[in-house]
Chain A
Amino acid sequence: MITVENNNYQELTDTALKVREHIIRMSTDGGCFTGASLSAVDLIVYLYSSFLNINKDNLNNPDRDYLFLSKGHDVPALYGTFAELGLLEKERLKNHLLLNDHIYWHPNTKIPGIEFHSGSLGHLPSVAIGVAMDLKISGSTNKVVCILGDGELNEGTCWEAMLVASAYKLDNLLFVVDRNHFQANMRTEDLIPLEPLADKFEAFGAAVKRIDGHSFAELDEAFGAFPFQTGKLNVIIADTVRGKGLPSIQERADRWFCNFNADEIEQLLLELHGEHQTTLTSETLVVR
């Protein structure tokens, strides 16, 4: 259940709840990366509602902010947010994995609002650098946000990007790590440990804030302070919970990719609203 932490953020909280409903409904008939989408919801809703200068009227205007979704698996959270904020017709979410649309497991630019395709990890930090460099060269004050997964940080190109962004003092660029502590079906710290993560980023020359990625108050405080250090790459580590909002899949390694049956979907929607806990019968990924 999502608890309402503060009435000041009621609208964001309501939107995030609706986005979570969309994600649950997309987790069938072929399925999607439900857990990794649920961890990123509050972050993405906050960014589009309160931080980024991106709306349905300026998607092709060079004088806008940019968001790059590098981890890619969380694209249902982005589509759900687009649907709630009027960038995408809600009906189209029903086209997930169908031939009549372009909504599938990874982002692509046939959906207006997606800046670049992704899914191959560790690509968009560098693409974001290019855009941020041009904004600087062109004298624009717009900003670039790139959302990375924590598992994605295994890829060496993420660290090359940190070096280059720091070298070029790209303080119009913000890397946000959705730190849900899982990669595929392992805990990050059990496979390729990342901590102390903030220290690593700082050693690469970045200014770093670490927050609760499900607290709108903390998101507001951190993003509101951007750039929190000028002349440096800015990084926000958002600690999140994979599967946030659904206790029956939350932090379960075997519920990374979910393809639920119709009955489970109905039960999970009730579970999201705190009414009961679902007994899942669909197959899990086998994890050892």
Chain B
Amino acid sequence: MSYEELLTQTALANEQVIVMTAENRALVRNLPGILGKRFIDTGITEQTMIGAAAGLALRGRTPVVHALAAFLTMRAFEFVRTDVGIANLPVKLSSFIPGFLSDGNGPTHQAIEDISIMRGIPNVTVFAPADEDDLVKMLPQIWESKSPAYTRINTRKTSYVHEPFTPGKAEVISEGSDVTILTYGLLFEQALIAVEMLKSEGLSVGLINMRSLKPVDEQAILKASAQSKLVVTLEDHFLIGGLYTIVAEVLLKHRTTANVLPMALNEKWFRPTLLPSVLEHEGFTGKQIAEKILGYQTAHNQPQILTPEFSE
């Protein structure tokens, strides 16, 4: 099932759902014809769209709103915080091309602080699916909840079949005593590759798909920290404010510590080019991840990385 099919099914089953976009229709192209007045395109007006979504939610609606991640979270930030966050309204933010998915657009379009700023707003929940299968397993519960929610939309296809989703619970893919990789979103597919390479090098490796970044699965983080010699936080996000920060907060809260290797963007935007080159240049291919953990080069072959379709 695709994002659009799921949204269509959800909106047809629930008259209260309103689909909104700030003129980003890549994933909702069929919905104007299907939903009629329940589809609202406000043009390139992210702030007004969020304010209007709050108004619709005041009337009992559940708006599912769409825009590029950078503009949805940053252009409209104060509207999300003030109109959605303070009022604690069930507005569901669906962000396009978050993280590395903005590939050749440049820093203006890079949302690599979105997790940080969205999770900083009281009441707002934050989610990052690993791929399309994960996305369609997570969204029904995200949309059913009465909380405001921010979701990094990721429609890439991997061969992995995910478990059912519970908000606040991570998906433990494997457990290991040498290293556990904690990740979310797009980099899950590279983490799967890295895990296989690490295992063939003789390591006992764990992998956790975080899925829900707020609320976060504290027990999963604590367990991984206790049983693995090394914990890796892997994310297409700034080092500050994302998963590395979340892990630090959880360990400190529980008065413990761990040997943590962060892989994130440290005080820099990433080099704009097509996605496979972005990953290679920034050191986030499965092979590069594995070799950074190992501390030496290997003879493993990096599988081809597919270039995403252009998405406004």
Chain A residues proximal to chain B, CB less than 8 Å: 30-31, 72, 97-99, 102, 104-106, 108, 117-121, 151-152, 154-156, 183-186, 191-192, 256-257, 259, 285-288
A288-B273 in contact given A108-B106, A152-B44, A257-B310 (Cβ < 8 Å): no
7 interchain pairs, CB-CB under 8 A: A31-B310, A97-B273, A99-B271, A102-B272, A151-B43, A183-B43, A288-B32
The reply to whether A155 and B108 form a contact with Cβ atoms under 8 Å apart is no
User: A154-B44, A259-B310, A287-B29 given. 6 additional CB < 8 A pairs?
Assistant: A99-B281, A117-B108, A119-B108, A120-B70, A184-B25, A288-B29
CA distance A22 to B44 in the complex (A): 29
- Across the interface, name the chain A residue whose C-beta is closest to B24: A184
- Across the interface, name the chain B residue whose C-beta is closest to A123: B108
Cβ of B274 within 8 Å of any chain A Cβ, yes or no, is yes
- Which B101-160 residues have C-beta < 8 A from chain A? 104-109
- Most chain B beta-carbon neighbours within 10 Å: one of A31, A120, A183, A184: A120
The reply to whether B45 and A154 form a contact with Cβ atoms under 8 Å apart is yes
Q: Smallest distance from the beta carbon of B16 to chain A beta carbons, Å?
A: 24
Cβ of B180 within 8 Å of any chain A Cβ, yes or no, is no
- Across the interface, name the chain A residue whose C-beta is closest to B309: A283
Binary CB contact string for chain B from 1 to 36 against chain A (1 if under 8 A, 0 otherwise): 000000000000000000000011100011011000
The reply to whether B106 and A186 form a contact with Cβ atoms under 8 Å apart is no
- Across the interface, name the chain A residue whose C-beta is closest to B22: A154
**Which B residues are in CB contact (< 8 Å) with A288?**
29-30, 32-33
Cβ of B288 within 8 Å of any chain A Cβ, yes or no, is no
CA distance A97 to B103 in the complex (A): 9
- Across the interface, name the chain A residue whose C-beta is closest to B312: A184
**Which A residues are in CB contact (< 8 Å) with B104?**
30, 97, 104-105
- Across the interface, name the chain A residue whose C-beta is closest to B46: A155
The reply to whether A97 and B274 form a contact with Cβ atoms under 8 Å apart is yes
CA distance A13 to B45 in the complex (A): 36
- Across the interface, name the chain A residue whose C-beta is closest to B32: A288
**Which B residues are in CB contact (< 8 Å) with A191?**
23, 41, 43
The reply to whether B43 and A192 form a contact with Cβ atoms under 8 Å apart is yes
Q: Smallest distance from the beta carbon of B161 to chain A beta carbons, Å?
A: 28
**Which A residues are in CB contact (< 8 Å) with B229?**
none
The reply to whether B106 and A119 form a contact with Cβ atoms under 8 Å apart is yes
The reply to whether B312 and A30 form a contact with Cβ atoms under 8 Å apart is no
Cβ of B219 within 8 Å of any chain A Cβ, yes or no, is no
- Most chain A beta-carbon neighbours within 10 Å: one of B33, B75, B104: B104
CA distance A192 to B49 in the complex (A): 13
The reply to whether B75 and A120 form a contact with Cβ atoms under 8 Å apart is yes
Cβ of B95 within 8 Å of any chain A Cβ, yes or no, is no
A106-B44 in contact given A98-B273, A99-B277, A288-B32 (Cβ < 8 Å): no
CA distance A280 to B25 in the complex (A): 23
**Which A residues are in CB contact (< 8 Å) with B73?**
none
Cβ of B47 within 8 Å of any chain A Cβ, yes or no, is yes
Cβ of B71 within 8 Å of any chain A Cβ, yes or no, is yes
- Across the interface, name the chain B residue whose C-beta is closest to A108: B106
The reply to whether A184 and B23 form a contact with Cβ atoms under 8 Å apart is yes
The reply to whether A156 and B272 form a contact with Cβ atoms under 8 Å apart is no
**Which B residues are in CB contact (< 8 Å) with A31?**
310
Binary CB contact string for chain B from 220 to 246 against chain A (1 if under 8 A, 0 otherwise): 000000000000000000000000000
CA distance A30 to B307 in the complex (A): 9
CA distance A99 to B103 in the complex (A): 12
